[in-house]
Amino acid sequence: MSRKPLRVLTPRSILPALAVMLVLAAGAAAHANKPVPFGDRVAGPGAEATPVNSESLRAADLDLRVGPGLEAFHKQTGEQAWSYRREGAEALYLAMAGDNAIVVWDDGLVTSVRPGDHEVRWHRAVPGLADWLRGDGEPGADKRTDAQRKQLAKQRAAAALHTVQRDGSPWLALVTPNLTMGLRDADGDLRYNDKPANGCAYDPLRAVHTDYAVLIPRTCTNSGGQAVSGGLTGYRLDSNGWAMSTGPAATLKVLDRSRVEITDGPIVPAKVFDTKAAAPETACGTLDAPFAAVRPQGGCVDPAGAPATDAPVPAPATDAPAPATDAPAATDAPAGGQQAAAQQ
């Protein structure tokens, strides 16, 4: 056995161990105080930055509002159920994709929230969206008041977000003048992104959506900045998109869940495009009508089966009394009876 006495720990020998412990403690504290990703703060009423309880609600039972974050209120009582906010950002616009709430923020971030259990499902940054929302550098931007800037940002946020309520699988499109993106709502996965051709720009303020597709107009300008042509691009997730040429100021009007009316000036007649069939309606009376993929709402009347319009149909006489069926006709009466009646 060694005769060396047991080593006694001196203050000098303790210092390295204390240093290691201090480093570990500092790391643990830094980890505990680490900011929540994207600055998310979900809180209950009157409790800032604290988790809400585990109560699960139906989205139909809540009234959702934006500003400064996403605020949820009980419809029956009007009391606040929960609040979702992000540090340094303000919510501008809200749209529903199925049962989920899609929020556009002023810093160009888009988030999806499940209202029933107040869970933030995914985040997606849209390149160039924040700059377009602010409108910095545009003509007259320096003369806008704070109220005008805020109103402009809200208007553009509403134009940028389009939710497509496709049965069983909603998705959404984010549109800016220089980029359009399609996201699957189930997980926020990017399904497509597209840029306009050189010299062209998308017009989010004229874009529309149906339950099947998003239709985005674009305008192309010459070197002098004058609009020379236009077009229309349709996007879907379950099939290929399509494109058509239009004038630079074509307007779109949603008619129902699938049909959109396209008006391209006073000379060109308006046409209807069916986004479910991905084809335009064929007008009645044209040579293509019998072979049309999409016919007008209500169908077309077959001219062969319709009554002639140039020959009027005589209306039945309503003033003459109907002949009595139980009395014999005048021609069946004997000649003597007719003569006697004439004499009387």
162-194 burial string, b = 16+ CB within 10 Å, else e?
Answer: bbbbbeeebbbbbbbbebbbbbbbeebeeeeee
Largest CA distance in the chain: 171
Sheet (strand 171-176) strand order: 161-164, 171-176, 179-184, 190-194
- Segment among 115-129, 149-163, 234-248, 322-336 with least mean pLDDT: 322-336
The DSSP letter of residue 74 is E
pTM of the predicted model as reported, rounded to 2 decimal places: 0.72
- Segment among 12-26, 91-105, 109-123, 259-273 with least mean pLDDT: 12-26
Q: What 3-state class would DSSP assign to 27?
A: helix
Q: What is the mean pLDDT of the chain?
A: 79
User: Quick check: 183 pLDDT over 50?
Assistant: yes
| pLDDT tens-digit map of 5-16 | 445 545 555 555
- 276-to-82, 110, 213 alpha-carbon distances in Å: 38, 27, 8
Torsion of CA 32, 37, 38, 39, to 10 degrees: -20
Supply the pLDDT for residue 343.
41
Going by C-alpha positions, the residue among 36, 54, 52 that lies closest to residue 44 is 52
The DSSP letter of residue 172 is E
Q: How far apart are CA 41 and CA 274, in angstroms?
A: 42
C-beta of residue 282 within 8 angstroms of C-beta of residue 295:
yes
Q: Return all residues near 83 (Cβ < 8 A) that are at least 6 apart.
A: 41, 42, 43, 44, 45, 69, 70, 71, 72
What band does 225 get if pLDDT is binned at 50, 70 and 90?
A: confident
What band does 286 get if pLDDT is binned at 50, 70 and 90?
A: low
| pLDDT tens-digit map of 237-261 | 888 889 999 999 999 999 999 999 9
Q: How far apart are CA 259 and CA 272, in angstroms?
A: 7
Please state the length of the chain.
344
